[in-house]
Amino acid sequence: MPERAGRFAGAMKWLGHAPAFSPQGLVNLFPWKPESDSSQFTVVDVGGGLGHVSHALAASEHGSKAHFVVQDLADIVDKGQSALSGKDLQEKIRFQVHDFFEEQPVHGADVYLLRMILHDWSDKYGIKILRALVPALKPGAKVVINDRVIPGRHQVHYRDSDMFMLSFQNAQERTESDWRELLIAADGRFEVTAVQRPVGYVLGVVEVTWRGSSGMA
């Protein structure tokens, strides 16, 4: 199992080299909130594998002032941590062992990133992943979903991917309406505040804002 998990994490890193899946598409649309106190800006990369997306975010203009927590299972975290080179990255990025079906341990972060996570799971488990974030969320916190947003019918690539996910993992790609319904089912205090589909980029960016007074309220 550790070998398979490592192979999967490596595949996700490799996929990020393809322009249509490049983390740069996310960097350009990320809710940095530059007006925030830069010393307090924290991003939690949930299920972030070897950390290649956090590396790209950290290297961007706004990301240079942020701190990142990359979460994954133990064997993946060990590999990601050992590959973290350079003092600058080591100061901005740390790895943490976490199963995203369990309660989120990092409380009060500004952004919780779910990149290519939820499309691997049916609604039943997607709801569980989202609810696991709730106790950690502060008012106004962002949950950023970086996944396909199916634009409509007769879109061969998206429908092909949807069938692939259904066949292999009993999962699915989602339309904007599907994403909204999933979030409402998880917790009515999740509000979709932006949905973007960058030109030339396969993945969409669904920006969600937490409207609860606190995760436990």
Which candidate, 206, 172, 200, places its Cα nearest to that of 22? 200
Output the pTM of the full model: 0.84
CA distance 81 to 151: 37
Q: What is the pLDDT of residue 28?
A: 86
Summarize the confidence of residues 130-158 as an average pLDDT.
Answer: 86
Does domain 2-210 fall under CATH 3.40.50.150? My reply is yes
Q: Is the confidence at residue 100, as pLDDT, over 90? A: yes
Beta bridge partners of 70: 45, 95
Beta bridge partners of 67: 42
Q: What is the pLDDT of residue 36?
A: 52
* pLDDT (tens digit per residue) in 37-94: 556 799 999 999 999 999 999 999 888 889 999 999 999 999 999 888 888 888 999 9
CA distance 52 to 210: 26
Tell me if 185 sits within 8 A of 127, measured CB to CB: yes
Catalytic annotation present for 119: yes
Which tokens is 196 given? Answer: 């973007």
Average pLDDT over the chain reads 84
| In the chain, where the domains are located | 2-210
Instruction: Please tell me which residue in 107, 119, 154, 157 is annotated as part of the active site.
Output: 119
Candidate from 20-24, 100-104, 179-183 with smallest mean pLDDT = 20-24
Summarize the confidence of residues 147-155 as an average pLDDT.
Answer: 76
